[in-house]
Amino acid sequence: MLSYRHAFHAGNYADVMKHVVLTALLRYMTRKDSPLCFVDTHAGAGGYDLQSDYALKNEESNLGIGKLWYVKDSPEPIAAYLELIRQFNDGDQLLRYPGSPWIGAQLLRAQDRLMLCELHGSDYPLLQQTFKRDRRVHCFAEDGYRFSKGLLPPAERRGLILIDPSYELDGEYETVMATLVALHRRFSTGIYAVWYPILDDRRTALLRQCVDKAAIRDVLNLELTIADREIHPGMYGCGMIVVNPPWTLREEMKLALPWLASALGQCNSSGFRIEQWVAE
């Protein structure tokens, strides 16, 4: 895990999908005046230079945000997300890409809090530097799986918890689901968003089995596939498991995901899936 640097992947299609969902969730949650808490278990550096050696090595952003940068007409959930990316760049050129913490900080209000966990020795100082003047933000050089349990339930009694690890460790799928179950026991009314890569049917099925076995209700699964797995070995799509999704999310994703599949797809078999894994 500590060898992983998200800078290699910043702005790729997986980031786009994840941040479209995150934007939709936070925009819904901030409709109410009451405060809320955003917990990010794997926060990263907070923002990324797309001209860095890391980003240019594989140029993954070219297949993600790079395809959308000049789009003028898109569904409302996509347009709201793109407006944030343009704010982060503060100009006509796509030079930088924000992490989930920055998106959260832009959408949350003065009465809200952000709790950010990042264990990587290089990324944590960058995260701290990004938010050093923002009193709403608290950064922790801690293992997000373990430390996030002590952050729940939040004093605000309203919260969004993002679980977005690298999935590079053996058994990490099981760790992710065990963490989700443990956090949900402490704070059952929170909204949870769990990102995962789509590598093969077996691993996705494992996540589904873990959800089915857990005492968790109201689970929506969202998936985006952009490549043919027979031609492109490795990650050919990504998904997000959302626990306690807002009632608006399904309809927003019915607009956003087919549009993303068309805009970012690399083959005729690109597509999307919206499934209620567990009923309310």
Which amino acids are annotated catalytic? 164
- The count of residues in the chain is 280
Please say whether the dihedral angle defined by the alpha carbons of residues 42, 174, 193 and 49, taken in this order, is positive or negative: positive
SS3 letters across 85-139 = HHHHHCCCCCCEEECHHHHHHHHCCCCCEEEEECCCCCHHHHHHHHCCCCCCEEE
> Distance between CA atoms of 173 and 188, rounded to whole angstroms?
21
> Distance between CA atoms of 48 and 214, rounded to whole angstroms?
36
Q: Tell me the two tokens of residue 233.
A: 């070995």
Sheet containing strand 137-140, edge to edge, reads 137-140, 113-117, 37-40, 159-163, 191-198, 237-243, 219-225, 271-278
Judge whether 14 and 61 are in contact, CB under 8 Å: no
Q: Reduce the DSSP state of residue 239 to 3 states and report it.
A: strand
